[in-house]
Each structure stands twice: as structure tokens, then as C-alpha cells.
Chain A
Amino acid sequence: MPPGRILRGISVAVSAVMVTSVTACGGEGDGFSGQTVTFWHSMAGKNGEAVAKLVADYNGRNTGKIRVQAIYQGKYNDALTKLRASIQSRQTPNLVQVFEIGTKLMVDTKAVVPFADLAQAGGFSLDDLEPGIARYYTVGGKLQSLPFNASAPLLFYNKDAFKEAGLDPDKPPTTLAEMAKAAKKLTVKSGDSVSRYGFVASIDGWLVEQLLANAGVEYCDAGNGRAGAATAVNWNTPTLKGIVDFWSTSVKDGVALNVGRNNTDASAAFQAGRAAMLPFTSANLRDIIGGAKFEVGVANYVRPDDAEQGKGGVFNGGGSIWTLAGHPKEQQDAAFDFLKYLASPEAQATWSTSTGYIAVNAKAQDTATYQEVLKTYPDFAKPAEELRAAADVPAAQGCLMGAMPQARDKMNDIVESVILGRATPETAIADAETAMTPAIQSYNKSVGQ
């Protein structure tokens, strides 16, 4: 074959490939001419099914006009990594769900449209949103994103095991010391082999953040990052030492099961009856109650021993949905319409009762869906009540800091190294604090703060 024909052949082949791939990406192939909204989320398992149900319901109501494409992007941390890459290459989704500790980072990307601005333009009243939760996502006086999945930390416990151990199933522990005492009684051992542990907890910095908030201890400086940009973490406190000590001692004494950093392993151990108590997020309330073969008790989260009751309080975990800037107006309007739907009492009632997340719309409690489920599972009301009971102090609102995802991971390192006997609480905390300072500084420097 002469070279000219070969070259022509190559160029024809290349353009054919390009044309097919362009059509594959662009067209839906079914003549859909409305707006397509891409929505990245991090909900897997039962909670992922609940998201799919909401999206299908919304798409059904808007046939021919709006189509929401919900895409699971992996866990919160992985999704955040992908989002940052998409911001760099200017190929962002319309909407993205980000965990609570990504809030400052999202604001600092300057790639988002504040939810308050959209709400004002779209005639959506922010008054219906749970004030405590909305406050968490308010930065610079503006609600930045739509709180969607708000969770509260809870103490799940096995009521049958409580009775068996001679404990009152209606009086779950409220402090770490009470929890340690109950755990000892609940542990069943024969020789060295433990058939039931007092409690199980995955190594998760979030559990520690909530304990500190419940004790009224600020996690970082600058008024927990609410009065200005935080410059350091405030970890060198007797409270944190006490928490780490409680945890590692419990594991060493064989009353607590260490499952590493895997949340699912912790809830699985509890559901299988291998551990009698489980400090865990409310996000999987429905799943945990449904999957256990014993009567599950749901209690408010415990607080550290040196904490006075009422001085602090837990705050919302979970995440919110952010609107990315730089998309056509019609598409952004369609995305906002979907957000309005997600925030509606009916959608929030469905969402809350199929997961365990707190309904962010206060009116959701009055819907028939919610009332119906509450009759069978009165525990669904607990997470929201627990959040509302928190004291109005910065310590109980969680630390707002750009390097928060790294801080949570460092907290895991502290707990893990002490549990494994590699460090004392004092040295582990001091090392982690030293490691966090440059991370926070470099973050603040790169966003010009």
C-alpha cells in the first residue's frame, strides 16, 4: 500500500473513533432534549439504594424536562480527590455530596455557588432547615451548601446482653467511666478466648471529634475555626488523653474489640452479638436495628468523664450537597430544582426513615411517612433530639478547618498507635500535633489566609 493511502486510512480510522466516542458521550440516543444534571454522591449499600430511590422518584416527576444522573464516586475521601481533579480539568459535576469536614475546603476552592444565593434567587425559604445543622454549613454568614445527610453519634447496645449481665437495659451508660464499667460486666470470656466483648468501635477520628464536642472542648483554635482561619489543633488536653487512655486500656484488657479502621467490621461484630455496645453513626440506624437478632437499644452518645453535662454537645456528621459554578444557567436551575426536591419534607421523611440520617427539613416530622415509621421505631426521633440539645458554644459546633480531613486521619494514627502499644497517649498526641501544624500552615498559605 502506498504511504499516502496508509496515512489517509489512519486519519479516517482516527476520526471514526473520535466521532463515535463524541456521540457516545454527548447524545442520550433517545431524543431527550431537557436538562441533564450530574450528581456525585458517596452513599453505598442500603443508603445508596435510598439515594437511587429519591432520584428515580424525582426523574419520574420530571420526565422529558430534567434528568438527574446520580453517580456513586466512592467513599467521601475518594470522591473529594476526584472532585479536585475535576475542578483542575474544568469538568465538574453539577452537584456533589461532600462530607462535613470538607466544608472549608469546598468554600476555599472558589468553584462553588453558595446555596443561600441560589435559595434567594429561586424563592426557597431557609427557615425550614434544622437551625443547628444549617449553622454548621454557614461560612462567612452564608449557608454554603444544602445539608442533605446529617447524622448524630449514638451508642447502640444489646438489650438482651444487658439483661443477661444483670444491667438495666433502660439505663445505658452516659459517660466513658460508666461505659467501661458496663463493658467489663458484659464481656464473656473463657480463658483467653473472648466470646463477647463489652464494646466494639472502629478507629475513627469522627468518634473522637464528637466526644470532644460533647465535653465542650474546642478541637482547633480560632474559636473552633469559626472566628477566623484555624492555625493549630488543640489536642494536648486532659480530655483527649482520657479518651485515648480509655480506648486503649479497654482493648488491652480484652473488654473492647479492635477492628482497625473499618466501620463495617465494627457494626458487623455488634450485629453478630460479638460485642455488646457500639458507638456509631445514626446513618445506619435502620440497617443496624433491622440486621440484629436481638433487641437493639439506642442511646445518646457518651461523654468524657471530666465533662459537665450541658457544657457541650454533639454536632452533625454526614454531609451536604454543593453546587458547582461554571455550568449553563438552565442546567444550574435544573440542579437547584432537584435540591429543592431533596430538601422537601416528603423527600426528607423518606430519606430519614430509610437510613437513620436526621431529616434536615423540620417539617418532615409532620409527614405521614415519618409518623408511620416512628410508631414502629421510636428511636428514629433520637438523633435529631440529641443534636437540638447541644449547648450553643463553638466547641459543640465542630472545627471548621481546611486540613480537617488530614486531622481526622491523624487522630486515627493517635488512637491506633496507642492501642497497638507503640506510643503512650502523651507522645502520640504530641507527635500528631507537631505533624498537623505544617499541614495547616501550608493549607492556609495556599488559599491565601
Chain B
Amino acid sequence: MSTASLPRGRYRRKDVVVAVCFLAPATAVFVMFGFYPLVRTVWLSVAASDIFGNVTGFVGLDRYADFFADPALRRVLLVTLAFVLATVLPTLLIGLFLALVLQARVPGIGFFRTLMATPFAFSAAAAAVVFDIFYSPSVGLFNGLLDLAGLPVAQWLTDPATALPSLALVSVWRDLGYAMLVFSAGLQAIPESLFEAARTDGAGRWTLLRRIVLPLLSPTMFFLLVVSTISSLQTFGEINILTGGGPDGATTTLVYGLYQSAFAFGASDYGLASVQAVVLLVLVMVITIIQFRFLQRKVFYG
């Protein structure tokens, strides 16, 4: 099609109709399931509602003040950040390590790569149920092993100090496969000729890793960092099944606090829940912007 012959910014009527037809389904879905809930959430966060969730009036920023004034509510922000750090960093580091190890050219490596990637295929609910059995205080696998080794047993999910790391372990275990797969794809995209050239120049393993692999892998790493951070911020299933936000609020993240305010225990404080949803939205945006602004500069796109 010779759009070049048309004046800038002008399209044929036929093209516009076709474009609208292609855009309409996606736009309809976005409006219905994306924009409408978003606008409604913002509206609910400045409105009062009754126990059935019906809006009863406008309260301005009162609920935001409630949220930031209450230390117990504010604490979910710290818990959320701790959870993100405890899941994203290990996932990326161990994922990279596994991907490097699984680059080895040995027979049957494809089998092991597939094996390592399988946790990714588990749903959060299924993984959480299995780990719930492992963590069980009296008849769990982990405490059984500790006992067998003559070590003191741990209170995996019932001690506020260990509950968050225990939850993070489930998340890391599940996300690791995905990180490893993406890293592997990134590694395989690095041209073999670069390694050969470096080796000819006498570069050792560490130099290869530091000077060639890591710089060329930086776009992959950046992508994973953004995606894992966002998905970690949205974790719900593991928390709901394993700890229910406890003990003593030690694992109540923003998403879980939102759920508790809106739905748990017959409560329906949609106002407070929406405040938390808006805070989550802003948090995701800020973190993503920071990552794009500051980290992208260090990314080497080859």
C-alpha cells in the first residue's frame, strides 16, 4: 500500500474503517475489564459504602488518611517491599546460575532443562497446597527431615520471623523455571563467534562471564526484573492458602490487605480496599518508571 503518497496524518476512509474494525475488539475488552474497573476503583476509594458494598456518599481523601495514619495498615507497605526483595532477587540470581549451568553441552541436557522449568507449570494454588504439607508443624516433611538430622524443628509458617521467607521460597521455587527459561533463551542468542574471539585473546571463564555474557544478557535481565517485580507485587494465591496474611500480619501484603478489607470475614470495606488498590497501582508505576529510567541506561542492547 502506498501510504507514502498521501499527505501526513491523512488516511483513506477504507483504511480507517479497517483499522477501527481491528481495534474495536481489543478496545472493548480493555474498556470493560481494564479502564472501567480502574475508574470505578478510584471512585470507590473516595466514597463511603455500606456492608453490601453499595456506595452511600462521597468522603474525599478520608480513607487515604485512614490508611496512612494507621501504623498497622501502613505496615503492609513494608511487608510488600520485603516480599518483593525476598522473591525477585533470589529468582533472578538462581535463575541465572541455573541457566549458565544448563548451557553445558552434555548429552540429555534438554531433559534436565525441561525438568528445571517444570515448577513454572504449577499453579500457585497447587504449589501452595503441596508446600503446606511440607511446612506442616507436626507431620510436615521439612520438620521431619530436621528432626531426622537431630536439628531443632522450625515454625515455618507460625513464627512471624520465618513466615515471609517461607512464603517467598514457594514463590521463588515456582518462578525459577520461568527465569531460567528466559535466561537460557538470552544466552543462546549470544553469537558463538564472540566467545571464540575472546578465547583467542586468552580470556578465562570469569572474564567471559563478566565482559561478554552479563553485558549481552542485560536486556533479558532488565525484562525479568520488571516482570518479576510486578508479578511479585500481585502475589495472592500462596499467601491466601499458606498463611492467610498471618501470623500477626507478618505476611499481609498490599494485595492481601486489599482482599481482607473487601471480602474476608464478612467485611466489605470497599473504600479502604480501593485505597490499597490505588496505592498498589501507584507503587507498580513508580517502581517500573524507576527501573526504566535508571536501569535501562545501563542495559546494553548490542
The proximity string for B residues 1-38 relative to A, scoring 1 for CB distances below 8 Å and 0 otherwise, is: 00000000000001001100100110000000000000
CA distance A258 to B263 in the complex (A): 27
**Shortest Cβ distance from A288 into chain B, in angstroms?**
14
**Shortest Cβ distance from B135 into chain A, in angstroms?**
9
CA distance A119 to B42 in the complex (A): 47
B51 and A446 within 8 A (CB): yes
B138 and A81 within 8 A (CB): no
**B192 interface hit (Cβ, 8 Å):** no
Q: Identify which of B93-101, B204-212, B225-233, B242-250 touches chain A.
A: B242-250
B158 and A81 within 8 A (CB): no
B260 nearest CB neighbor, chain A only: A409
Please list the 5 inter-chain residue pairs (A to B) with the smallest Cβ-Cβ separation, ordered nearest first: A446-B50, A269-B138, A405-B266, A274-B138, A260-B158
A3 and B248 within 8 A (CB): no
**B274 interface hit (Cβ, 8 Å):** no
CA distance A192 to B146 in the complex (A): 14
Question: Residue A259 contacts which of B56, B138, B268 (CB distance < 8 angstroms)?
Answer: B138
Identify the interface centre among B138, B246, B263: most chain A CB within 10 Å of its CB.
Answer: B138
Report if A420-B137 is in contact (Cβ < 8 Å); known contacts: A109-B52, A258-B155, A402-B51.
Answer: no
CA distance A364 to B50 in the complex (A): 42
B247 and A416 within 8 A (CB): yes
Q: Which of B147-201 contact A (CB under 8 A)?
A: 147, 152-153, 155, 157-160
Inter-chain residue pair count (beta carbon < 8 A): 96
**A7 interface hit (Cβ, 8 Å):** yes
B52 and A261 within 8 A (CB): no
B138 and A272 within 8 A (CB): yes
Residues of B contacting A200 with CB < 8 Å? 138
On B, residues with C-beta under 8 Å from A are: 14, 17-18, 21, 24-25, 50-53, 56, 132, 136-139, 147, 152-153, 155, 157-160, 243-244, 246-248, 263-268
A268 and B51 within 8 A (CB): no
Residues of A contacting B246 with CB < 8 Å? 260-261, 416
Interface size class of A (residues with CB under 8 A): 35 or more
The proximity string for A residues 392-404 relative to B, scoring 1 for CB distances below 8 Å and 0 otherwise, is: 0000000000111
**A35 interface hit (Cβ, 8 Å):** no
Q: Which of A93-114 contact B (CB under 8 A)?
A: 102, 105, 109
B52 and A420 within 8 A (CB): no
B263 nearest CB neighbor, chain A only: A81
B51 and A447 within 8 A (CB): yes
**Shortest Cβ distance from A196 into chain B, in angstroms?**
10
Question: Residue B244 contacts which of A80, A105, A261 (CB distance < 8 angstroms)?
Answer: A261
A102 and B138 within 8 A (CB): no
B248 and A422 within 8 A (CB): yes
CA distance A447 to B139 in the complex (A): 46
Report if A260-B265 is in contact (Cβ < 8 Å); known contacts: A88-B53, A417-B248.
Answer: no
CA distance A258 to B158 in the complex (A): 7
